[in-house]
Amino acid sequence: MEKRKLGTSDVSILGYGCMRFPQKENKIDEELALEQLRYGYDNGINYFDTAWPYHNGESEVVVGRFLKTIDRTTVFIADKMPTWDIDSVEKLDIIFNKQLEKLGTDYIDYYLLHCLTIDNFEKVKKFEMISWIENKKKEGKIRNFGFSFHDHYDLFEEIINQTKWDFVQIQLNYVDENYQAGLKGLNYAKEKGIDVIIMEPLRGGILANSNNQVAAIMEKAIEKKSPVAWALRYLWNQEGIKILLSGMNDLNHIKDNIEIAKTSKLNTLTADDLKIIEELKNFYQVKIKVPCTGCNYCMPCPHGVDIPSCFSYYNASEMADDKEFFQYNAILDDSKKANNCLKCGICEPKCPQNIGIIDALEEVKARFGE
């Protein structure tokens, strides 16, 4: 698998996102997760991305157990400071030291200020998190530092210009070229000499799926590709992108992503390929009603609503042009459906996509009925 320079190291172009581990009885299926992590490692992945809130704090623990089975110096671990949860300078060290303990390591290769929005960035400034993270780098406890971004473009430029970041992490895929930082943000970071990591390359899995209309567009291509290959190769084709993060939890998906990565290079998509991607983008931009990526930050809902599943079924029903949509009505338990929303609003400040969740759930109810 190709490696690209990210900060101080050569990293695999496919990164393993540790936010969607397989689960059993509402907990991480640790045996299966470790097996999948090991497969990725044995087949060329050397960048593993975790965070404080993933799997209610258990993701870091599982990644730490994985690290005990390999040579720590052969991989690069990314972890993140939960900026929204900081209410004192002292808490920065408390959380960071706990992360080192969970991971069983004395340094983190790539450390991010997590989920910077306008509100979270105010906390970054108030508690001097940039100075804190720069000091940790001087101490050798952090090798490279950056931030993940979830807000409007002007704020992205403001944050970029606060210090000399080693890297940034943004959401990008062929549907979201103009969303949040987008392509404009990618190019701005590149001009500043800052490396870029991409999250949500498959938009929460939406771009990995197909239907008759999507298949018909792809069938026009001279060189046939799977839906996943179209999405991933679009990004690996771009200058400035160093890694794509994929939240993998199925061995077949891991194998497929690795094989696509092995055949992907910069500037290799043809004019015909780019034309197909433009058609796909136009199709999805009309069909996707709620820009939910299934990150689960909004969960759990105190009233039992499975918010990401409601939005996933809503978007899928639009793409399938099926208002009945069997999966929502027959698979999703009644206790988890949109009509259980009591509009308490606890979920909305947690959403990195800034979705008006209450109004969007009303749309789901209107689509499928009470």
What are the residue ranges spanned by the domains of the chain?
A: 3-286, 307-368
Residue with token string 């993270």: 133
Looking at residue 128, the DSSP 8-state letter turns out to be T
Q: Can you tell me the distance from the alpha carbon of 39 to that of 108, in angstroms, rounded to the nearest whole number?
A: 22
pLDDT category of residue 323 using cuts at 50, 70 and 90: low
Residue 49: predicted pLDDT: 98
Residue 254: predicted pLDDT: 97
Q: Which helix (H) or strand (E) holds 361?
A: helix 357-368
More confident position, 199 or 206: 199
The answer to whether the CB of 305 falls within 8 A of the CB of 341 is: yes
pLDDT of residue 257 exceeding 60, the answer is yes
The answer to whether the CB of 2 falls within 8 A of the CB of 11 is: no
Pairing of strands 241-246, 14-17: parallel
Say how many CA atoms lie within 13 Å of 229 toward its Cβ: 17
The answer to whether the CB of 290 falls within 8 A of the CB of 311 is: yes
Report the predicted TM-score, pTM, of the whole model to 2 decimal places: 0.84
pLDDT in tens, 51-107: 999 999 999 999 999 999 999 999 999 999 999 999 999 999 999 999 999 999 999
Residue 114: predicted pLDDT: 96
Burial state string for 9-42 with b = 16 or more CB within 10 A and e = fewer than 16: eebbbbbbbbbbbbeeeeebbbebbbebbeebbe
pLDDT of residue 36 exceeding 60, the answer is yes
The answer to whether the CB of 281 falls within 8 A of the CB of 344 is: no
pLDDT category of residue 326 using cuts at 50, 70 and 90: low
pLDDT category of residue 370 using cuts at 50, 70 and 90: low
Q: Which of 110, 196, 197, 181 is nearest to 149 (CA)?
A: 181
Residue 320: predicted pLDDT: 63
pLDDT in tens, 121-137: 999 999 999 999 999 99
pLDDT category of residue 314 using cuts at 50, 70 and 90: confident
Query: Average of pLDDT values for 364-368?
Result: 89
Q: Which of 290, 284, 295 is nearest to 351 (CA)?
A: 295
Q: Can you tell me the distance from the alpha carbon of 174 to that of 288, in angstroms, rounded to the nearest whole number?
A: 13
Residue 144: predicted pLDDT: 97
Q: Can you tell me the distance from the alpha carbon of 242 to that of 329, in angstroms, rounded to the nearest whole number?
A: 41
Phi then psi for residue 69, to 5 deg, are -95, -5
pLDDT of residue 330 exceeding 80, the answer is no
Q: Which helix (H) or strand (E) holds 286?
A: helix 271-287
More confident position, 8 or 125: 125
Phi then psi for residue 13, to 5 deg, are -70, -20
Query: Average of pLDDT values for 229-238?
Result: 96
- % of the chain surpassing 70 pLDDT: 97
Segments of 13-107 assigned E as strands = 14-17, 23-24, 27-28, 47-49, 76-82
Q: What angle do CA 348, 351, 356 make, to 5 degrees?
A: 45
Q: Which of 39, 23, 25, 57 is nearest to 252 (CA)?
A: 39
Contacts with 154 (C-beta within 8 Å, 6 or more apart), sequence order:
none
More confident position, 234 or 324: 234
Burial of 266 (0-12, 13-18, 19+ CB in 10 A): middle
pLDDT category of residue 151 using cuts at 50, 70 and 90: confident
pLDDT category of residue 185 using cuts at 50, 70 and 90: very high
Query: Average of pLDDT values for 200-220?
Result: 88
CATH of domain 3-286: 3.20.20.100
- The per-residue pLDDT of the chain, averaged, comes to 93
Most confident of 171-180, 237-246, 304-313: 237-246
pLDDT in tens, 279-293: 999 998 887 889 888
Residue type at position 368:
F
Query: Average of pLDDT values for 170-191?
Result: 93
Residue 285: predicted pLDDT: 84
pLDDT category of residue 176 using cuts at 50, 70 and 90: confident
Q: Tell me the three-class secondary structure of 323-345, residue by residue.
A: CCCHHHHHHCCHHHCHHHCCCCC
